[in-house]
Amino acid sequence: MDKEIVTENLSKKYGNFEAVKNVSLSIKKGTIFGLLGPNGAGKSTTIKILTCQLPPTSGTAYIGGLNTVSDAVKIKKKIGVVFESQNLYEELSVYENLNFFRRLYNSPKKRISEVLKAVGMERYQKDKVKTFSKGMKQKIMISRALLNDPEVLFLDEPGSGLDPRSAREIRQMILDLKEQGKTILITTHNMEEADFLCDYLAIIHKGSIRDMDTPTNLKKRYGEDVLIIKTVKGDIYESPLNTKTSSDIYEKLSENNQVSFVHSKEATIEDVFIKLTGEKLTDES
Ligand SMILES: Nc1ncnc2c1ncn2[C@@H]1O[C@H](COP(=O)(O)OP(=O)(O)OP(=O)(O)O)[C@@H](O)[C@H]1O
């Protein structure tokens, strides 16, 4: 079966409030799928349902063909989860933290050094977690989620609040894990991260999926490449690239030697988000 995660009309209500509305997804094995949306869009709720921590109000979800409600025990053995809150034991060493979870999974002891090697943290085994930066803790969180050698990984906002270098390292780690054949679902409100990492991207807003496709196709469909012309006087003209309007503007300005510089701006996932939701997705949202 080449679909690892499938949901059919998944919905979740908290009281009368519908946090997730009719979400239907189908995620291919060995790919990175992103749920992009602002705070409160329903991303964490969707992950909680998929990782068997919360039953849906209606609809169904399957991981590797197993039902998230009736096959929860089996599913938990084959998934790894990293939530946004870093719930490590601060007073314990890296080794002690991982050993605690290793025992829960019944994984061999040597797995601890394997997962630490995978995230480049092997030499910190004896150090207490409380001495670490947020980026280092995130690596330990990922290594912990790898202890049971999961087929599917769920990463809730993996790059959130990290310094640029750690964020880059974590992104590379996620790509490496995909290379090893893992299926990865990430949630993010970071558009660059979504564009860079995801094979397939769903825009989620107020609980509903607005559209999903590869980032390239989404940009083609909803975004617009733009031609930017700056004149010698400092005026700036922007117009959709490769259109009559843009070539007319360019010709007119260049006839009068008015052009100072010209460059083009490619469509971004931000353009896609604005088109689909009518809102801007800021880093704080
Ligand atoms: N246990 C709960 N009870 C009531 N409402 C909740 C509960 N958990 C989440 N919600 C609400 O459901 C909506 C979706 O929340 P969710 O955490 O899934 O969004 P999110 O996209 O993951 O955002 P964030 O990044 O802030 O976690 C929000 O409006 C939130 O306030």
Helix axis angle, 134-145 to 110-118, nearest 10°: 130
Radius of gyration of the chain (CA): 22
CB-ligand 1 contact for 45 (6 Å cutoff): yes
- How far, in Å, is the centroid of ligand 1 from the Cα of 39? 8
Q: What pLDDT is stored for residue 248 in this prediction? A: 83
Range scoring the smallest mean pLDDT among 113-122, 137-146, 154-163, 243-252: 243-252
Is pLDDT of 247 > 90? no
pLDDT tens digits for range 1-35: 699 999 999 999 999 999 999 999 999 999 999 99
Q: Are 177 and 184 in contact (CB under 8 A)?
A: yes
Instruction: Please tell me the distance between residue 85's alpha carbon and the centre of ligand 1 in angstroms.
Output: 14
β-sheet with 32-36: strand ranges across = 79-82, 152-156, 183-188, 32-36, 200-205, 208-213
- Per-residue pLDDT reduced to its tens digit, 49-107: 999 999 999 999 999 999 999 999 999 999 999 988 878 999 999 999 999 999 988 89
149 touches 182 (CB < 8 A): no
pLDDT band at 283 (very low <50, low <70, confident <90, very high): low
User: For atom 1 of ligand 1, which residue has the closest CA?
Assistant: 14
SS (H, E, C) 144-201: HHCCCCCCEEEEECCCCCCCHHHHHHHHHHHHHHHHCCCEEEEEECCHHHHHHHCCEE
Is the Cβ–Cβ distance between 44 and 84 less than 8 Å? yes
Ligand 1 centroid, distance to 257 Cα (angstroms): 56
Residues of the chain with CATH 3.40.50.300: 3-212
* Mutation probe of ligand 1 site: the residue of 12, 18, 23, 45 with most atoms within 8 A of C-beta: 45
Distance in angstroms (rounded) separating the CA atoms of residues 269 and 197: 12
> Helices 110-118 & 164-179, crossing angle to 10 degrees?
120
Instruction: Give the separation between CA 148 and CA 195, rounded to whole angstroms.
Output: 29
The stretch 115-144 carries a mean pLDDT of 94
Q: What is the pTM of this model?
A: 0.89
Class of domain 3-212: alpha beta
Tell me which of 17-31, 54-68, 117-131, 239-253 is least confident.
239-253
Ligand 1 geometric centre to CA of 44 (Å): 7
Residue 234's CB is within 10 A of a number of other CB atoms, namely 7
For the Cβ of 245 lying below 6 angstroms from any atom of ligand 1, the answer is: no
> Taking Cα atoms as reference points, which of 64, 80, 65, 33 lies closest to residue 197?
33
CB of 42 shorter than 6 A to ligand 1: yes
Q: Is 40 in the pocket of ligand 1 (CB under 6 A)?
A: yes
pLDDT at 1: 61
Write the residue with the smallest CA distance to atom 24 of ligand 1: 39
pLDDT, one tens digit per residue, over 203-235 is 999 999 999 999 999 999 998 888 888 888 888
Chain mean pLDDT for the chain:
92
Give the C-alpha separation, 277 to 229, whole Å: 29
**How large is the ipTM?**
0.93
Q: What confidence tens digit (pLDDT) does each residue in 176-205 have? A: 999 999 999 999 989 899 999 999 999 999
> Which residues partner with 204 through β-bridges?
209
Q: Which helix (H) or strand (E) is 15 found in, with range? A: none
Q: Is 19 in the pocket of ligand 1 (CB under 6 A)?
A: yes
Beta pairing partners, 265: 226
Measured CA distances, 173 to 14, 21, 132, 260 (Å) = 35, 32, 18, 43
The confidence score (pLDDT) of residue 252 equals 83
Residue 284 — pLDDT band, cuts 50, 70, 90? low
Tell me which residue of 113, 115, 167, 114 sits closest to 141, measured CA to CA: 115
Model pLDDT, residue 235: 86
The pLDDT assigned to 88 comes to 93
